[in-house]
Amino acid sequence: MSRGTPKRVLFVCLGNICRSPTGEGVFRALVAGRGLGDRVEIDSAGTGSWHVGEPADRRMRQAAGGRGYELASRARQVSRDDFERFDLIVAMDRANRDDLAALAPAGSRAELRLFSDFLPPAAPRDVPDPYYGGGDGFDRVLDLIEQGAPRILDHLLGDLADGDTGGGAR
């Protein structure tokens, strides 16, 4: 693999307090565990602005902490600049993917994908929003993200191995 510019991935959900910071935290731990912290940059954002500046939802932090993940980011809203800063933008559900597609500037460099693109075909098409549900919803989000995160990393590593020509799984 070449040691060029790091790959940048952005996880996006609605408010950036449940699903996307969990994507960021799980993916950050995976990348660090493989010794690739200098090769991959990770962030998260929300399509909405309701929670800007807030930490991840307490229930999500507790569920993640129980599995050894730290969710340390503060919520922010996605911006048009993100489509130039990031190589891969991963939407947690179809509604947010559609909002992102509408926001994306023409010819932007970021590849926009659904998180479920990195899950087995039998998995749900959307990572469910646990905010208004019970505690098991937070564990379900973690289950799905733990399952998909290695596939996202494989996708990025394929791009890195191909010399950034986009040769990962599509």
pLDDT for the residue 4: 74
Residue 166 in any domain: the answer is: no
Indicate the range of 1-5, 9-13, 86-90, 120-124 predicted with least confidence: 1-5
Check pLDDT > 90 for residue 112.
yes
Residue 2 in any domain: the answer is: no
pLDDT for the residue 74: 98
User: What residue numbers bound the domain in which 130 lies?
Assistant: 7-161
What's 76's domain CATH number? 3.40.50.2300
Residue 31 in any domain: the answer is: yes
**Signed CA dihedral, 63, 68, 72, 74: sign only:** negative
pLDDT for the residue 160: 53
Q: In what order do the strands lie in the sheet with 111-114?
A: 40-46, 7-13, 88-91, 111-114
What is the average pLDDT across 118-124?
95
Cβ burial, residue 80 (10 Å; 0-12/13-18/19+): exposed
Residue 169 in any domain: the answer is: no
What is the average pLDDT across 97-118?
97
> Whole-angstrom Cα distance, residue 49 to residue 79?
11
Average pLDDT of the residues of the chain:
92
What is the average pLDDT across 34-45?
96
Supply the Cα-derived Rg of the chain in whole angstroms. 15
User: Does the pTM exceed 0.75?
Assistant: yes
Residue 170 in any domain: the answer is: no
> Whole-angstrom Cα distance, residue 149 to residue 160?
17
Number of domains the chain is built from: 1
Phi, psi (5° rounding) for residue 112? -100, 120
What is the average pLDDT across 62-69?
98
- Looking at per-residue pLDDT, the higher value among 93 and 160 belongs to 93
Cross-strand pairs, 8: 41
Known catalytic residues are 13, 19, 129
